[in-house]
């Protein structure tokens, strides 16, 4: 990781950085940015990856998590 990447990672993991990211992603501009990214093949792949990671942290029954994971694995762009 180079110096700039380390600085960005440090800011993104700080409370101030997380709040700035949260505010941007909640804004109309942030929502449009998310929509544009998720409309791309790369965004679809990342969306699936993040959904699978999020499932690990959600308080859902295991069969529901398994069903969602299966559906994500079956769907291809």
Residues 1 and 35 in one domain: yes
Q: Taking the model in full, what pTM does it have?
A: 0.70
Residues 50 and 77 in one domain: yes
pLDDT higher than 70, residue 1: no
Rounded Cα gap, residues 38 and 32, in angstroms: 10
- Do 68 and 62 contact (CB within 8 A), yes or no? no
Residues 21 and 51 in one domain: no
Residues 62 and 31 in one domain: no
For 44-60, the pLDDT digits (tens) are: 999 999 999 999 999 99
For 23-35, the pLDDT digits (tens) are: 999 999 999 999 9
Residues 53 and 67 in one domain: yes
Residues 46 and 34 in one domain: no
Question: Residue 60 — left, alpha, or beta (φ > 0 → left; ψ -120 to 50 → alpha)?
Answer: beta
Residues 3 and 34 in one domain: yes
Residue numbers of the domain that contains 8: 1-39
Domain total for the chain?
A: 2
């Amino acid at each position: 990781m180079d110096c700039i990447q380390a600085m960005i990672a440090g800011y993104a993991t700080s409370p101030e950085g997380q709040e700035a990211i949260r505010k941007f992603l909640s804004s109309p501009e942030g929502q449009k940015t998310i929509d544009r990214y998720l409309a791309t093949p790369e965004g679809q792949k990342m969306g699936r990856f993040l959904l699978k990671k999020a499932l690990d942290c959600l308080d859902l029954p295991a069969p529901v998590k398994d069903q969602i994971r299966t559906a994500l694995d079956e769907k291809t762009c």
